[in-house]
Amino acid sequence: MGERAPSHLIRVEVRPPYPVTVGEGLLAQVAATVEEQRVAIVSDAVVAGRYLADLEATLSGAGKVVSAHVVPAGEASKSARHWLELQRAFARGGLDRASAVVALGGGVVGDLAGFAAATYLRGVAWYQLPTSLLAMVDASVGGKTAIDLPEGKNLTGAFWQPRAVIADVATLATLPETELRQGAVELFKHGLLADRSLLDDFDATFGSSPRSPGALADAIARSVAVKAAIVAADEREGGVRAHLNLGHTLAHALEAVSGHRLTHGDAVAYGLHFAALLGRQRGHEDVTGATSRLLAWVRPAPLGVTELAALLPTMARDKKNLRGRRRFVLLRAVGEPCIVDDVSEPELERAWGALLEEVGA
C-alpha cells in the first residue's frame, strides 16, 4: 500500500473559527475531532452504503452514542418533510445541546443536516464530512444551510457554521466522473477569483488517470483557502462574498429555464465562459482561452435555449441585483473580480452570440 497523501489544514476565520482538514484516509480519524458523546449521523442512501458502517464503528469504538439517519439521494431530500423527520428523530433519540450532528455526504446532505442542526434546540454542533468534490470545495465551507420550498431552492435556511470540516479525498475514488467534473468547475472558479496556480495546475491535477490523491488534496486545499478567505471577509454575504457568484448569473437562468435538467456544474461552466466573454468586450484580461478549455473538458449538456430573451426574466430576479439593476461579477484580471451594474443588453447579446457560435444550442 502506497504512502498516504499529506493532510492540509485551513482555518476559516469566522466567529467561532473552525478548521477544514483535507487529506487521505481521514474518515477513520473522525472520532478524534468530534468532541460530543451523543452523535447523529445524517447521510444519503448512496453514500451510506459505502461509508456509514465504518463511520459508525469508528465513533462507537471511541465510546460515543451513535444514531444514523439516511435520506434518499438527490435534491428532493432538501425538503421540509425530511427536515421535520430529522427534527423528530433527534428528539426521539435524546439529542440535547451537548450532542452533535455529523453530515456524511455531498452538498444536499450538508444543506439538510446543517439546517437541521441549526434549528434543533435553536442550534446544536455539527460537523461536515463531504464526500463529493463539489461539497469539498464549495458547499461545506461558509456555513450556508438550507432546504428547498415548492417556490424555489434554498429559500428556508440559516447561516450556521460547522465545528469542523473533514474532507477525505479517498471518497472521490468512488465518485462518478461526471460528478467530479461538476465539482472541478467550482475549483476552477476559485482559481479565476484568487489563485492562478489552480488554473495552471488544472490539467495536471484532473487530466491524469488515475488521479493522484496528493495532487487532489493539494488542489482542494488551495481552493478551500480561496473560499475561506472570502467568507472570513464577509460571513453574511453583504459584500465581497458576492464574488463567489462569478458565472452564476447566467448559470442560474440556464438552470431555471431548463427546469433544472441542466446540472449546476454544467451551467456554471457556461456562465464562467459567458462572464469571460463580457470581460473581454470591456478590455479586461482575456481569460476566454481558459474558460473555453474548461468547457471542452467538462463536456456539458447542450444549452437547450437559443434566445437570450428567454433568460432575461430570470436574470432580472438574480439575488445580486439592486434597485432593479442587473449586476454581474466579472474579472478585470485573474485574481481581480469586480461587480458591475451597467452591462447593456447589446453587450449581453454579443457575448451570448459568441457563446452560441462556440458551443451551439
Catalytic residue list contains 186: yes
Q: pTM of the full predicted structure? A: 0.93
Number of continuous H segments (helices) and E segments (strands) in the chain = 14, 11
Residue 226 CA to residue 309 CA, distance in Å, equals: 34
The grid coordinates listed for 296 are 471542452
Q: Tell me the pairing of strands 328-333 and 18-23.
A: unpaired
Q: Which of 264, 273, 326, 327 is catalytic?
A: 264
Catalytic residue list contains 252: yes
Q: Which of 36, 186, 189, 326 is catalytic?
A: 186
Catalytic residue list contains 153: no
Determine which helix (DSSP H) or strand (DSSP E) holds 191, and give its type and residue range.
helix 177-194
- Angle among Cα 109, 119, 238 to the nearest 5 degrees reads 80
**CA–CA distances in Å: residue 220 to residues 202, 266, 359:** 11, 19, 29
Residue 24 CA to residue 6 CA, distance in Å, equals: 7
Catalytic residue list contains 144: yes
Q: Which of 64, 181, 245, 255 is catalytic?
A: 245
Catalytic residue list contains 8: no
Q: Which of 190, 227, 273, 320 is catalytic?
A: 227
Q: Provide φ and ψ at 7, rounded to 5°.
A: -90, 155
Q: How many Cβ atoms sit within 10 Å of the Cβ of residue 34?
A: 22
Q: Taking Cα atoms as reference points, which of 119, 103, 118 lies closest to residue 48?
A: 103
Catalytic residue list contains 38: no
Catalytic residue list contains 122: yes
Residue 262 CA to residue 14 CA, distance in Å, equals: 33
Q: What is the pLDDT along the chain (361 residues), one digit of tens a residue?
A: 467 878 999 999 998 999 999 999 999 999 999 999 999 999 999 999 999 999 999 999 999 999 999 999 998 999 999 999 999 999 999 999 999 999 999 999 999 999 999 999 999 999 999 999 999 999 889 999 999 988 777 889 999 999 999 999 999 999 999 999 999 999 999 999 999 999 999 999 998 778 999 999 999 999 999 999 999 999 887 789 999 999 999 998 998 899 888 999 999 999 999 999 999 999 999 999 999 999 999 999 999 899 999 999 888 876 666 666 788 999 999 999 999 989 999 999 999 999 999 998 7
In one-letter notation, the amino acid at residue 35 is E
In one-letter notation, the amino acid at residue 38 is R
Q: Which of 15, 92, 122, 323 is catalytic?
A: 122
Q: Which of 82, 144, 190, 320 is catalytic?
A: 144
Catalytic residue list contains 273: no
- Quote the DSSP letter at residue 49: I
